[in-house]
Amino acid sequence: MDQPPPPAPPPTPVAAVEIRAATLPPSPSDAVFSIVRVTPEALEQNPRLDEALATVPGVSLFRRTSSLGANPTTQGLSLRGIAGSGAGRALVTLDGAPQNDPFGGWVIWSALPSEAIGGAQVVRGAGAGPYGAGALTGVVALTGGHASGLSASIGELGQSRVALTWDHRTGGGNDLFLAASGGHSDGWTPVRTGAGAADQPLTLDYANAQARLTGDLGPATGQVTLSGYREARGSGLAGAASRAQGGELAFAIAQQPAPNAIGWRMGAWVSASDLRNTSVAVAAGRATTTPANAQDSTPATGYGANAALRWTGGDWTWEAGADARAAKGETRERFRFIGGTFTRNRVAGGANLDLGLYGEGAYANGPWTVGLGARLDRWSTSDGKRLERDLATNAITLDVRPGDRSGLLPTGRAGVRYQTGNGLYWRAASYAGFRPPTLNELHRPFRVGNDITEANPTLKPERLYGVEAGVGGQGGATAWSLTLFANRLSDPVTNVTVGIGPFTDPVAGLIPAGGVLRQRRNAGRVDAWGLEGETSYRASDALTLRGAVSYTHARVDGQAAAPQLTGLRPAETPELTVTAGIDWRIAGPLTLHADLRGESVRYDDDLNSRRLGPSVSLDAEADWQVTDKALLYIAVDNLGDADVETGRTADGIVSYGPPRTARVGARLRF
């Protein structure tokens, strides 16, 4: 369901210049699936893209903390609340190029400023067909923006931010788009009760830049995009921090389909990333920390290509395509801190490859639309290694060389939609999708405080099967939709508790008192059913109301791999999420925007022993349209200063999201 844009003053007339995109047009089969479109106006009101997308129920990062304070390794995106994952169970693309990190699967949201995004399409349900590997619970398909402007703001918690975009168009159909942004936050200390000298703020510094050139190549359109980012974070504990940097180069060329003519698209991309991350162990009373791990570098490269043909014959539209995605990388780190120094180092990593073929057909005739498609993917993981050495003697203490593995996975999707004459529609769909485990999940252990999670090179791909039925309509000022779904997630990669400290593990080493040892495992399956709905009401040109709800009942069947999890809820998975919003032009140039988000209880661990209470937060913004091209605003995040629990340790220490925070800023259009 499209979300209507907020009220705005009439735009200043400008000369229309059409920018042809290096993409194929939307497929008629899109109508049979659950798709929510997020407008540029909705994105503009939140400079952090993940927070803007969170207005769609069921869209969330692994933890409640947004990318303003979340470690990069927990910024994976998932849809529908079936089961969260730090690696993310949804595919994020920008103009068709994947944005998920090649080593860990998460998304560095600081690399994607909202001002550079022209819109987002959220596809809920397994994204088989043209999306392929990684689109397990759905897809967030971003499109590049074309607006020139300047945005700047300052606020509490030492926040500051500036973003600049410039779009230059020529009469020959060429377009050059440049974007850059950067920001800083002094952050907040997430631990309150029981906090000690070890507890520090979640600080953030970041910068990004993007250049995109689009132009005509005869009857086709070509596009090249180059982007890069850097960010530095304080992780909330003395001595713990992260640094991430990377970039992507993407090419695309497309020719639009026409009557009796085949349309086509080809694309290719290469991305590189590097993450440095230090973690610590916390002493009793949280007075001090001891270094636990120094992840000095995680060089990783992702690359791929895709191609598609599109043609129409009568009432049918057909598409056939192929794609390839590969990733290789390793972590280089020091660990086992004894006597004031690290005594061991580790190099662990490998390579992943996915090759896919797909075909889809869409039938559209009168009120009926039918879509069906199938994929076949060959996945493989190779060159795996985990080598650990004693730094004093250079002696090898652990040498794991898992064998290469591969397999074939068929997936597909199908759906039907019937449009009545009074604006009402009915639809039904079924789908299957999969996500191969990331290099991070396969090969890298990690530590958070006193909790240790071991890698597992034998992990299998996750698979999801689902069905859904929906009804909706649009008439006059009201639009609404309601969807009932049932999903089964097979072989979910889960952090399974192995033991609670103190004890010594032959691979992980000492697990201190209050600490927990977990290992990533394919833990049986997750069965989930739920209901999601959206509605919007445009009362007048000055007032729009919107609301949405997502309810997901998800339970784990751990089977033989993790019987202790059977009957429990997946970690970091709330049952109920509710959002509501208002866009109200109060008088003349003054407009109020407000967004409410609430969710029910979730658990911070697989055993459902670390309860995080329900949360409700309200964000508000008041805009003053100074001129047709200049706007001033004041925004308050978490207006009610709600205590939003974001984490809980084994010894009961609770972390919280940011307090009430005010910002003031300006947006200019060129």
- Least confident piece of the model among 55-69, 300-314, 517-531: 55-69
Residue type, 185: S
Q: What is the pLDDT of residues 26-35, one digit of tens each?
A: 899 999 999 8
Q: How far apart are CA 109 and CA 114, in angstroms?
A: 10
Q: How far apart are CA 155 and CA 481, in angstroms?
A: 37
Residue 7 has pLDDT above 50, yes or no: no
DSSP alpha helices (H): ranges in 211-351?
none
Give residue 578's pLDDT.
93
Give residue 449's pLDDT.
67
Angle at 451 between CA 450 and CA 457, to 5 degrees: 140
Give me the mean pLDDT over the 131-135 stretch.
86
| pLDDT above 90: percentage of residues in the chain | 71
- Name the band, by pLDDT with cuts 50, 70 and 90, for residue 562: confident
Q: What is the pTM of this model?
A: 0.92
Give residue 195's pLDDT.
93
Does a structural domain hold residue 133? Answer: yes
Beta carbons of 140 and 124 less than 8 angstroms apart: no
Report residue 664 CA to chain centroid gap: 27
Q: How far apart are CA 519 and CA 64, in angstroms?
A: 22
Does a structural domain hold residue 199? Answer: yes
SS (H, E, C) 197-243: CCECCCCEEEEEEEEEEEEEECCEEEEEEEEEEEEEEECCECCCEEE
| pLDDT above 70: percentage of residues in the chain | 97
Beta carbons of 84 and 62 less than 8 angstroms apart: yes
Q: What is the pLDDT of residues 446-480, one digit of tens each?
A: 877 678 888 999 999 999 999 999 999 988 899 99
Does a structural domain hold residue 13? Answer: no
Beta carbons of 81 and 550 less than 8 angstroms apart: yes
The pair of three-digit structure tokens given for residue 50, joined into one six-digit string: 């993940």
Beta carbons of 552 and 81 less than 8 angstroms apart: yes
Residue type, 42: A
The pair of three-digit structure tokens given for residue 463, joined into one six-digit string: 């698979």
Residue 161, Cβ density class (10 Å: 0-12 exposed, 13-18 middle, ≥19 buried): buried
| Alpha-carbon distance values, 37 to 32, 140, 146, 290 (Å) | 14, 10, 18, 47
Residue 69, Cβ density class (10 Å: 0-12 exposed, 13-18 middle, ≥19 buried): buried
Residue 178, Cβ density class (10 Å: 0-12 exposed, 13-18 middle, ≥19 buried): middle
Give residue 18's pLDDT.
54
563: Cβ–Cβ under 8 A, 6 or more apart, which residues? none
Instruction: Phi first, then psi: give them for residue 32, nearest 5 degrees.
Output: -90, -5
Q: How far apart are CA 132 and CA 127, in angstroms?
A: 6
User: Nearest-CA neighbor of 52 among 39, 62, 65, 43?
Assistant: 43
Does a structural domain hold residue 648? Answer: yes
Give me the mean pLDDT over the 589-600 stretch.
94
Give residue 318's pLDDT.
95
Does a structural domain hold residue 16? Answer: no
Give residue 397's pLDDT.
93
Q: What is the CATH number of the domain that holds 234?
A: 2.40.170.20
Beta carbons of 128 and 134 less than 8 angstroms apart: no
Q: How far apart are CA 158 and CA 151, in angstroms?
A: 17
Q: How far apart are CA 649 and CA 492, in angstroms?
A: 23
Q: How far apart are CA 495 and CA 480, in angstroms?
A: 38
Q: How far apart are CA 105 and CA 123, in angstroms?
A: 18
Q: Is the peptide bond before 502 cis (omega within 30 degrees of 0)?
A: yes
Give residue 112's pLDDT.
93
pLDDT greater at residue 509 or residue 180: 180
Segments forming the whole domain that contains residue 626 = 28-669
Does a structural domain hold residue 546? Answer: yes
Beta carbons of 562 and 600 less than 8 angstroms apart: no
Residue 5 has pLDDT above 70, yes or no: no
Report residue 30 CA to chain centroid gap: 21
Residue 283 has pLDDT above 90, yes or no: no
What's the whole-number average pLDDT of the chain?
A: 91
Largest CA distance in the chain: 79
Residue 301 has pLDDT above 90, yes or no: yes
- Residue the block writes with tokens 């918690």: 157
Q: What is the pLDDT of residues 213-266, one digit of tens each?
A: 999 998 999 999 999 999 999 999 999 999 999 999 999 999 999 887 899 999
- Name the band, by pLDDT with cuts 50, 70 and 90, for residue 182: very high
Residue 124 has pLDDT above 80, yes or no: yes
The pair of three-digit structure tokens given for residue 521, joined into one six-digit string: 């495992």
124: Cβ–Cβ under 8 A, 6 or more apart, which residues? 33, 34, 35, 36, 58, 79, 80, 137, 138, 483, 532
Residue type, 359: G
- Least confident piece of the model among 67-81, 565-579, 606-620: 67-81
Give me the mean pLDDT over the 59-65 stretch.
84
Residue type, 144: G
Does a structural domain hold residue 552? Answer: yes
Instruction: Phi first, then psi: give them for residue 8, nearest 5 degrees.
Output: -155, 155
- Name the band, by pLDDT with cuts 50, 70 and 90, for residue 355: very high
The pair of three-digit structure tokens given for residue 134, joined into one six-digit string: 């990684």
Residue 127 has pLDDT above 80, yes or no: no
The pair of three-digit structure tokens given for residue 248, joined into one six-digit string: 């992507």
Does a structural domain hold residue 159? Answer: yes
Give residue 84's pLDDT.
78
- Name the band, by pLDDT with cuts 50, 70 and 90, for residue 2: very low
Give residue 357's pLDDT.
96
Q: How far apart are CA 430 and CA 414, in angstroms?
A: 5
Residue 512 has pLDDT above 90, yes or no: no
- Least confident piece of the model among 292-296, 414-418, 444-448, 487-491: 444-448
Q: How far apart are CA 409 and CA 357, in angstroms?
A: 11
- Name the band, by pLDDT with cuts 50, 70 and 90, for residue 12: very low
Classified as helix, coil or strand, 159 is strand
Beta carbons of 347 and 331 less than 8 angstroms apart: yes
Beta carbons of 59 and 46 less than 8 angstroms apart: no
Report residue 316 CA to chain centroid gap: 33
The total domain count for the chain is 1
Residue 19 has pLDDT above 70, yes or no: no
Q: What is the pLDDT of residues 77-120, one digit of tens each?
A: 888 878 878 788 899 999 999 999 999 999 999 999 989 999 99
pLDDT greater at residue 305 or residue 650: 305
Give me the mean pLDDT over the 346-361 stretch.
96
- Least confident piece of the model among 118-132, 208-222, 325-339, 480-494: 118-132
Residue 18, Cβ density class (10 Å: 0-12 exposed, 13-18 middle, ≥19 buried): exposed
